[in-house]
Amino acid sequence: MFGAEIPIIQGPMLGASTPAMAIAASTAGAIGAIGAAGLAPAALGQTIGEIREAVGDKPFIVNLFVLDPAAPDPAEVSRAMAALAPWRAELGLPEQAIPNKWAEDFAAQFAVLVETAPPVASFTFGILSAEQCARLKARGTRVVGTATTLAEARAWAAIGADAICASGFESGGHRGTFLRPVEESLVGTLSLVSAVRAQLGLPVIAAGGIADGASIAAVLALGAEAAQMGTAFLLAEESAVSAPWRAALAGQDCDSSRLTRAFSGRYARGIENRFMREMAGAEIPVYPIQNALTQELRAAAARAGRADMLSLWAGQGVHALRPGRTADLITAYWAQARATLADTAARFA
Amino acid sequence: MFGAEIPIIQGPMLGASTPAMAIAASTAGAIGAIGAAGLAPAALGQTIGEIREAVGDKPFIVNLFVLDPAAPDPAEVSRAMAALAPWRAELGLPEQAIPNKWAEDFAAQFAVLVETAPPVASFTFGILSAEQCARLKARGTRVVGTATTLAEARAWAAIGADAICASGFESGGHRGTFLRPVEESLVGTLSLVSAVRAQLGLPVIAAGGIADGASIAAVLALGAEAAQMGTAFLLAEESAVSAPWRAALAGQDCDSSRLTRAFSGRYARGIENRFMREMAGAEIPVYPIQNALTQELRAAAARAGRADMLSLWAGQGVHALRPGRTADLITAYWAQARATLADTAARFA
């Protein structure tokens, strides 16, 4: 896919993946990705330049969140800050100031994408206009739209996307959902990949619950062009995952995670912890408001080794997690995937 | 698996699958199953005898619900009947009488199982005791436990089950969940099969979202011993699916279904319709109370061609549905699965 030797995409994970991870993945023959939504336009351009310089003509993916400018309601922000105050106090943080920025400006980030023209750009949380898609394609950038439902995949096909990232219910981190409420957009990877492939003529990237070589083999048999793995790289040497998050991932399995809005205002899948449970009843503003309001808290919790108030994003494939260099993980996953396909085909020949 | 030539299990579907379907599946070399929870003990014994006579020494599965005797609260029953009254009126049904039976007696059904010793028995909604499991195994019946989480799979392994049916979030009809609330027991098929296989030493049957040959190939690559398909047989000639239910299945896809308690008091996946939407706020007694209370309504709705108040059970793989004889469907699914495995292995060799 996209000219890579190995049909594995290292999933973009804002806060967990790093440019070093993307470089390692692409250099190893797979496809690296950066979760770039948190980068200011100048830093975005610089990061794309660094990765391109490191990987040469090998493909890599730049992932952004399609967001409208935040429009916070002051009363709602006050209530959200009040709900977070006890948590901040527990960590010894001072009274919260209203953030001076809620999120990076997507329009400015998009302009950098068009200017720098990375090999592939993928998008979540929203959809491009047909005109935006055409501008990227005219620059030679392949456009991947993230879909959590068949309807979202159809919407991306309609605006001219080159491929669909079919992100199943099992996926860790934020749901990419943008058409309907998340509660009505929960489709398993197996069904979503199968339906998108059957109904649309576009290449499909499977994402969600792909934890090891056997599950890569499974989604390739299902007809996916590539397997996107995020959780499987959380313990990679190049990962930015904090020490308490890393520690909390040990011994977890497919039962351990839940969808929560508590940390960011948008549903995301992570290991269940105290913050998720105790904030379940609170009034939580939409993304990126709550995300910005909890940023300092999460950073402080990570420093303090407090997994109970930290976002512990992980998918349902977390049981298969292993540490190692990104390049070695890719080599191992791909060898296992090929051996699985050969063995399974031989067994039922 | 269980001595069958083809690793496909026709899933037991109370109200949709039939003894004729089970006989056709087992005769075709796959494994047929009857959803027998609704059969009184005498009918259960007779049905097992008829299937055995028809299929000879080929394997088949008898599925039962592990249920404690119902203990309805009269006030709750009254409120539930009041909530159903307008629906009954809309269909011209008379005032509802309190059912004289809420569900078949599981203990009596279990005694018939031990006596008749079918080749395989599978269980949902609860778990056997180790002693019950041992009694069946001593009679030569293989015991399959349905698990919707890894914890449930562990529980079945602990009481001595021969195999686990890993029933993912995508599955149509009732969730088999029995340890924790359903809301905390939603695991995708890909992750559940992978985790159960990695963590337990038992053969795994994959269920949920397996819609066609490619998805059979996928779960076999994942390490499942067999693929259990329910939705994929809903339009089979041998199916008991009513005309309005059949009609409602046309043109549906992975986005079309929801989990609901409205029809039975237990979460089940079906095509979203008016009854599900309008009953969402109602107080609904647990299974089997609500199930018994809606039985007449659903039967009348089916006769009247009213899909808007009928349980339209279907899984997320519903887009791939096709009509045909059960035997022909199995032959086609299996040929496609083998071809997919051979092609995929060759492509990445």
Q: Is residue A119 part of a domain?
A: yes
Q: Is residue B1 part of a domain?
A: no
The pLDDT value recorded for residue B253 is 97
Residues in chain A: 349
Residues B35 and B77 in one domain: no
The pLDDT value recorded for residue B56 is 97
Residue B136 has pLDDT above 90, yes or no: yes
Q: Distance between CA atoms of B126 and A25, rounded to whole angstroms?
A: 45
Chain B residues inside the 8 Å CB shell of A349 = 338, 341-342
Structural domain of residue B306, as residue ranges? Answer: 71-102+257-313
Low-confidence spans in chain A with pLDDT less than 50: none
Which among A329, A144, A164 is positioned nearest to A232, based on CA atoms? Answer: A329
Yes or no: say if A177 and A262 are a contact pair by the CB < 8 Å rule: no
Question: Could you tell me which residue, B141 or A281, shows the higher pLDDT?
Answer: B141
Query: Hey, what are B131's tokens?
Result: 């002693």
For the entire predicted model, the pTM comes to: 0.97
Q: Which of A218, A254, A345 sits opposite B222 (nearest CB)?
A: A218
Q: Is residue B36 part of a domain?
A: yes
Residues A51 and A141 in one domain: yes
Q: Which of A254, A267, A343 to mutate to test the interface with B (most CBs of B within 10 A)?
A: A254
Query: Hey, what are A198's tokens?
Result: 């059957």
Rg of chain A, C-alpha, whole Å: 19
Yes or no: say if B24 and B244 are a contact pair by the CB < 8 Å rule: no
Residues B198 and B339 in one domain: yes
The pLDDT value recorded for residue A129 is 98
The pLDDT value recorded for residue B203 is 98
Chain A residue whose CA is closest to B272: A184
* pLDDT, tens digit, 9 for 90 and up, residues A242-296: 999 999 999 999 999 999 999 999 999 999 999 999 999 899 999 999 999 999 9
Chain B residue whose CA is closest to A334: B348
- B344 and A217 within 8 Å at the Cβ level: the answer is yes
The pLDDT value recorded for residue B281 is 85
Which among B41, B36, B38 is positioned nearest to B61, based on CA atoms? Answer: B36
The pLDDT value recorded for residue A237 is 98
* pLDDT, tens digit, 9 for 90 and up, residues A161-180: 999 999 999 999 999 999 99
Residues B227 and B95 in one domain: no
In single-letter form, the type of residue at position A268 comes to A
Residues A189 and A279 in one domain: no
- In this structure, are strands B173-174 and B163-167 parallel, antiparallel, or unpaired? unpaired
Residue with tokens 């990987």, as numbered in its chain: A55
Q: Which of A188, A212, A221 sits opposite B217 (nearest CB)?
A: A221
The set of residues, in sequence order, having a beta carbon less than 8 Å from that of B130 and lying 6+ positions away, is B158, B159, B160
Write out the H or E segment, with its range, that includes residue B62: strand B60-65
Residue with tokens 């392994």, as numbered in its chain: B157
- B184 and A338 within 8 Å at the Cβ level: the answer is no
Closest approach of A15 to chain B, Cα-based (Å): 23
Yes or no: say if B252 and A195 are a contact pair by the CB < 8 Å rule: no
Q: Is residue B84 part of a domain?
A: yes
In single-letter form, the type of residue at position B155 comes to A
Closest approach of B21 to chain A, Cα-based (Å): 24
Chain A residues inside the 8 Å CB shell of B211 = 191, 194
Q: Distance between CA atoms of B257 and B307, rounded to whole angstroms?
A: 14
Q: Which of A190, A199, A271 to mutate to test the interface with B (most CBs of B within 10 A)?
A: A190
Yes or no: say if B276 and B267 are a contact pair by the CB < 8 Å rule: no
Yes or no: say if B252 and B314 are a contact pair by the CB < 8 Å rule: yes
Q: Is residue A208 part of a domain?
A: yes
Yes or no: say if B254 and B317 are a contact pair by the CB < 8 Å rule: yes
Q: Which of B148, B191, B196, B338 to mutate to test the interface with A (most CBs of A within 10 A)?
A: B191
Task: Give the three-class secondary structure for A153.
Answer: helix
Q: Which of A194, A225, A229, A319 to mutate to test the interface with B (most CBs of B within 10 A)?
A: A194
First to last CA, chain A: 27
CA atoms within 13 A on the CB side of B100: 0
Chain A residues inside the 8 Å CB shell of B218 = 190, 218-219, 221-222
Q: Is residue A2 part of a domain?
A: no
Q: Distance between CA atoms of B265 and B283, rounded to whole angstroms?
A: 10
Yes or no: say if A267 and A261 are a contact pair by the CB < 8 Å rule: yes
Neighbour-count burial of A273, counting CB atoms closer than 10 A to its CB (0-12 exposed, 13-18 middle, 19+ buried): buried
Which among A60, A74, A77, A78 is positioned nearest to A11, based on CA atoms? Answer: A60
User: In Å, how far from its chain's centre is CA A348?
Assistant: 35
- What percentage of chain A reaches a pLDDT higher than 90? 98
Closest approach of B183 to chain A, Cα-based (Å): 9
Closest approach of B151 to chain A, Cα-based (Å): 7
Chain B residues inside the 8 Å CB shell of A203 = none
Residue B154 has pLDDT above 90, yes or no: yes
- B190 and A184 within 8 Å at the Cβ level: the answer is no
Backbone φ, ψ for residue A259 (5° rounding): -85, 135
- A190 and B209 within 8 Å at the Cβ level: the answer is yes
Other CB atoms within a 10 A radius of the CB of residue A159 amount to: 16
Chain B residue whose CA is closest to A179: B255
Chain A residues inside the 8 Å CB shell of B319 = 150, 194-195, 198-199
Strand order in the sheet with B32-35: B8-10, B226-229, B204-207, B163-167, B142-147, B120-124, B60-65, B32-35
Q: Is residue B163 part of a domain?
A: yes
- A170 and B191 within 8 Å at the Cβ level: the answer is yes
* pLDDT, tens digit, 9 for 90 and up, residues A141-159: 999 999 999 999 999 999 9
Q: Which of B188, B199, B348 sits opposite A209 (nearest CB)?
A: B188
The pLDDT value recorded for residue A281 is 86
Name beta bridge partners: A270.
Answer: A258, A313
Q: Which of A151, A222, A254 sits opposite B215 (nearest CB)?
A: A222
Task: Give the three-class secondary structure for B235.
Answer: coil
Q: Per the structure, how many domains does chain A have? A: 2
Strand order in the sheet with A257-260: A173-174, A268-271, A257-260
Chain B residues inside the 8 Å CB shell of A319 = 150, 194-195, 198-199
Q: Is residue B3 part of a domain?
A: no
Query: Hey, what are A333's tokens?
Result: 């996953």
The pLDDT value recorded for residue B23 is 98
Task: Give the three-class secondary structure for B216.
Answer: helix
Closest approach of A335 to chain B, Cα-based (Å): 10
Name beta bridge partners: B227.
Answer: B8, B206
- A222 and B214 within 8 Å at the Cβ level: the answer is yes
- In this structure, are strands B226-229 and B204-207 parallel, antiparallel, or unpaired? parallel
- A170 and B185 within 8 Å at the Cβ level: the answer is no
DSSP state of B18: -
- In this structure, are strands A257-260 and B173-174 parallel, antiparallel, or unpaired? unpaired
Backbone φ, ψ for residue B137 (5° rounding): -65, -35
Residues A188 and A291 in one domain: no
Write out the H or E segment, with its range, that includes residue B139: none
Residues B185 and B129 in one domain: yes
Residues A85 and A221 in one domain: no
Residues B79 and B159 in one domain: no
Task: Give the three-class secondary structure for B56.
Answer: coil
Q: Distance between CA atoms of A275 and A266, rounded to whole angstroms?
A: 15
Closest approach of A41 to chain B, Cα-based (Å): 36
Q: Distance between CA atoms of B299 and B132, rounded to whole angstroms?
A: 34
What's B12's domain CATH number?
Answer: 3.20.20.70
Residues B81 and B145 in one domain: no
Whether the upstream peptide bond of residue B288 has omega within 30° of 0, thus cis, is yes
Mean pLDDT of B74-94: 96
The pLDDT value recorded for residue B240 is 97
- In this structure, are strands A32-35 and A60-65 parallel, antiparallel, or unpaired? parallel
Residues A178 and A284 in one domain: no
Which among A192, A27, A213, A26 is positioned nearest to A120, based on CA atoms? Answer: A26
Q: Which of A152, A255, A319 to mutate to test the interface with B (most CBs of B within 10 A)?
A: A255
ipTM of the complex: 0.96
Backbone φ, ψ for residue A305 (5° rounding): 70, 30
Residues B75 and B44 in one domain: no
User: In Å, how far from its chain's centre is CA B86?
Assistant: 30
Q: Distance between CA atoms of A145 and A128, rounded to whole angstroms?
A: 9
Q: Distance between CA atoms of A36 and A42, rounded to whole angstroms?
A: 12
Average pLDDT of chain B, as a whole number: 97
- B214 and A192 within 8 Å at the Cβ level: the answer is no
- B208 and A192 within 8 Å at the Cβ level: the answer is no
Q: Distance between CA atoms of B315 and B247, rounded to whole angstroms?
A: 16
